[in-house]
């Protein structure tokens, strides 16, 4: 499952997409809208995506992850539009035979997503807003 959605992400569905009788570990990462950034109080987030290219990049990251860690399953869903504090903006699920590869593959997938998937984040504060880039 690779998707960009404009409503709340169903984390359980993302996790269920990677389940397999051969897997001993399922690791689910949720990137969640948090109420602060660089000392500023954040009221809400807004995500914008270049959707068709984002999907291509997410598919490429999933394929690369499966190639590096043979046998793992990967699902990734990113949200667009307004995202309230506490809600996930991205969910990545990885299933693997053993936990070591689940942790490595999951970390690789989220790091790559943050580096190259064309999605932009606007933080809203009490007194304005700003587009915030990921640290490279």
Partner 1 sequence: MRVVIRYFAALRDIKHRVEETVELPEGTTALGAYAAMGLPTALPVAFAVNMERVPGGTALAHGDELVFLPPVGGG
Point out which residues bind a second copy (CB under 8 A).
Answer: 11-12, 15, 19, 21-36, 85-86, 88, 95, 97, 99, 102-103, 106-107, 110
Q: How far is the CB of 118 from a second copy (least distance, A)?
A: 20
What is the number of alpha carbons within 13 Å of residue 63 lying toward its C-beta? 6
Q: Which is nearer to a second copy, 35 or 48 (CB)?
A: 35
Distances from the Cα of 73 to the Cα of 61, 81, 128, angstroms: 12, 27, 40
User: What are the residues binding partner 1 (CB under 8 A)?
Assistant: 31, 47-50, 52-54, 56, 78, 89-90, 110, 113-122, 131-134, 136
Q: Which is nearer to a second copy, 51 or 104 (CB)?
A: 104
In 69-136, which residue ranges form alpha helices assigned H by DSSP? 99-116
Question: Measured between alpha carbons, how far is 71 from 78 in angstroms, rounded to an integer?
Answer: 23
Retrieve residue 23's tokens: 């897997």
Q: How far is the CB of 129 from a second copy (least distance, A)?
A: 18
């Amino acid at each position: 499952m690779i998707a960009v959605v404009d409503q709340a992400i169903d984390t359980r569905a993302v996790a269920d997409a990677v389940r397999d009788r051969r897997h001993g570990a399922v690791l689910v990462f949720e990137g969640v809208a948090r109420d602060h950034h660089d000392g500023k109080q954040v009221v809400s987030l807004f995500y914008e995506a270049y959707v068709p290219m984002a999907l291509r990049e997410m598919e490429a990251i999933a394929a690369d992850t499966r190639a590096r860690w043979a046998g793992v399953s990967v699902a990734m869903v990113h949200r667009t539009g307004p995202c309230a504090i506490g809600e996930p903006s991205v969910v990545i699920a990885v299933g693997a035979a053993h936990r070591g590869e689940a942790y490595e593959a999951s970390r690789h997938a989220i790091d790559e997503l943050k580096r190259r998937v064309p999605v932009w984040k606007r933080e809203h504060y009490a007194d304005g807003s700003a587009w915030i880039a990921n640290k490279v």
